[in-house]
Structure 1
Amino acid sequence: MSAAISHRAFEEIYRTEQKRLLHFFRRKIGPGDASDLVQETFARVWQSGAFDRLDNPQGYLTRTAQNLLIDLARRRKRNACTICPLNEARDASLPPHQEWGIQALELRAAYRRALLALPRRTRRIFLMQRLKGMTYREVGQELGVGHQCIEYHMIAALRALRGANLY
C-alpha cells in the first residue's frame, strides 16, 4: 500500500471512529481529557506503523484506547498526592482530663487528711478564714480571740499544709 493510500485510509478511519472513541473516553473519564486521549489514540496507531497491516482497525483503536486508559490510571496513581488538612479541633492532642480528675481526687484526699491532722481550733480558724472567706477581725470577733491568735493559728495551719505539700 502506498503512503498516499495509507494516509487516505487513515483519514477515513479517523472520521468514522473519532466520535465513537470520544464517547468511549467521556464515559470512562469524563469530558475533560477525552478529546486529548482520542488524539493520542490515533497518534499512537499512526506512529506504530502497523496501520497498513491491520485487518480490524476499529478493534486496534479500541485496544489502544483501553491501553491509554490503563497508562493514565497508572500515571495518576504514581503521581497521587494525598492531602490531609489539619483540623485543629479534631486533630489537636487532648489534655489528659481523666488524669487531672484522678490527681484532683488524690489532692482533695491529701488536703482532707492534712486538715483533720490539725488541732481542732487551728482547723476551725483556717476553715473560717479560707472556706467562708471571713477576715481575721470577723473570725476573732466570732471566737472571741485577738488578731495575733488568729495569725498564730493561720501560720500553724499553713505550715502543716505546706509540710504535706499542699501549699
Structure 2
Amino acid sequence: MTADYCNLTDTELFLLLKQDDVRAFDEMYERYFILLLNAAFKRLQSKEDALEIVQDLFVQLYFKRKKIETHNLGGYLHMMLRNKIIDRFREQLVRKKHIYRLQLQKPETSAEAPENNLDVKQLEQKIYTVIDRLPDKCREVFLLSRFDNLSHQAIAEQLNISVSTVEKHIVKALKIVRKHVGHFEVNALLFTWYLASN
C-alpha cells in the first residue's frame, strides 16, 4: 500500500472506491479488517463465524459501493457488522427452534431402555413442549440463557434489550415451565443440561 493511500482520510478513500479504485478498497480492508474481526469475535465467540461475516461485509461493501452514501465510514462498517451479527443470531435461533421441534417429534424410548432414562426423555419432551409455547421473546431469552449458557448481560447486548428485561423474561419462563412440569424436575433437568454443555 502506497504512503499516499495510507495518509488519506476515510472519506477520501470511500470517494475513490466509488470511482472503482481498487487500491482504496485495499487500504480500507487493511485499516478496518482486524478491528471488525475482533468486534465480531467478541459477540459471536466463533473465529469461523466472525471471519465469514467480516469477509462477507467487505464483499457487500465493494459491490454496493456506488449506492452507499456515508460521511462516516467507520460508523457505517460497524453498523453493517451489527446487522450481520443480528442476522446470524436469528439464523442460529431458527436452527435451535427447529431442533427442539424435532425433539418433540421423536418416538418414545424403547421399552428395553432403563426406566430412569425413559423418565428423563419424557421429562425433556414435556419441557420442550412447554418451551415451544412460550411467548416468542420470552422463549428466545430462555433458550439463550439455559441452553447457550449466556450471561444476562450478553443476552441483553445480543437482543438489544435491557438486563432487567432479560431477567423478567427468564423469571416468567421458569415460572411457566415449573407450573407445567414441576419445580424439582425442572431444576434437575436444567442442571443436567448445563453439565452436558460444559
- Output the TM-score relative to the length of structure 2: 0.40
Question: Larger C-alpha radius of gyration, 1 or 2?
Answer: 1
